Amino acid sequence: MLIDLTHPIANHMPVYPGDPPVEVTETANVTTDGCQLHALAIGTHSSTHIDAPSHMIAGAASLDAIPLETLTGPGKLVESFELAALQAAAFVPGDIAVLYSGASERFHAADYWTVFPALTTEAAEYLVAAGVKLVVLDTCSADNGDKSHPIHQILLGAGIPIIENATNMTALRGTDFVIRALPLRVDLDGAPVRVVAETPDKGAIHG
């Protein structure tokens, strides 16, 4: 089964405060032009997106330099951002940490962008020490309020990309799954990304 963990991109969808707006503009249509075409203006950290190390770390890898192996692999769902819960998950090197807080269910609420849990520095350091290669969050940021962005600094500084604004994680409960996260191949600090979890069951579930 393929489970979509991605918010759809839509015109004027909510974005992180201060980020550029998402704008979808029709530039041609089938009736008058023989084909349909749109222009898409979107920030690199809009919707479900991935932070490359270069997002916060000077001289670090940009998105196109992240190995594909980093973006796919076995995932473990943890329904908490707390250190004890992460330790109980017993991550091993090469795992992808999928962390659920329930925030994604408020994605279109104004306070989604201001009231959300964040990892502690101890939790982030544990994920690095455990050998996790990718972190997937259902919140708009790995940090909450601290302008020095300590959690981004720890994870991205260790070469661990961060996916933010993921959704539909409850569909992963009680099953083994593999994460596949493929963003645009661009030499930038990040980009929207389609995140899919593959489980042993057949079918597909969209967020």
Rounded average pLDDT over 180-206: 91
pLDDT: is 179 or 207 the higher one? Answer: 179
In which band, very low, low, confident or very high, does the pLDDT at 146 lie, cut at 50, 70 and 90?
confident
In which band, very low, low, confident or very high, does the pLDDT at 207 lie, cut at 50, 70 and 90?
low
Tens of pLDDT along 84-104? Answer: 999 999 999 999 999 999 999
Residue 206 has a pLDDT of 72
| Superfamily for the 2-6+44-205 domain | Putative cyclase (3.50.30.50)
Is 90 exceeded by the pLDDT of residue 147? no
Q: How high is the mean pLDDT of the chain?
A: 96
Is 80 exceeded by the pLDDT of residue 203? no
Among 59, 70, 62, 22, residue whose Cα is nearest residue 42: 22
User: CA quadruple 47, 89, 121, 101: dihedral positive or negative?
Assistant: positive
Buried b vs exposed e over 64-80: b needs ≥16 C-beta within 10 Å? Answer: eebeeebbbbebbbbbe
Contact by Cβ (8 Å): 164, 51: yes
For residue 60, count CB atoms less than 10 angstroms from its CB and return exposed for 0-12, middle for 13-18, buried for 19 or more: middle
Tens of pLDDT along 126-139? Answer: 999 999 999 999 99
Per-domain residue ranges of the chain: 2-6+44-205
Q: What is the number of H-type helices and E-type strands within the chain?
A: 4, 11
Rounded average pLDDT over 171-182: 97
Residue 201 has a pLDDT of 75
In which band, very low, low, confident or very high, does the pLDDT at 202 lie, cut at 50, 70 and 90?
low
Contact by Cβ (8 Å): 160, 129: no
Contacts of 110 (CB under 8 A, 6+ apart): none
Within 10 A of 59 (CB to CB), how many other CB atoms are there? Answer: 6
Distance CA 24, CA 86 (A): 39
Tens of pLDDT along 13-48? Answer: 999 999 999 999 999 999 999 999 999 999 999 999
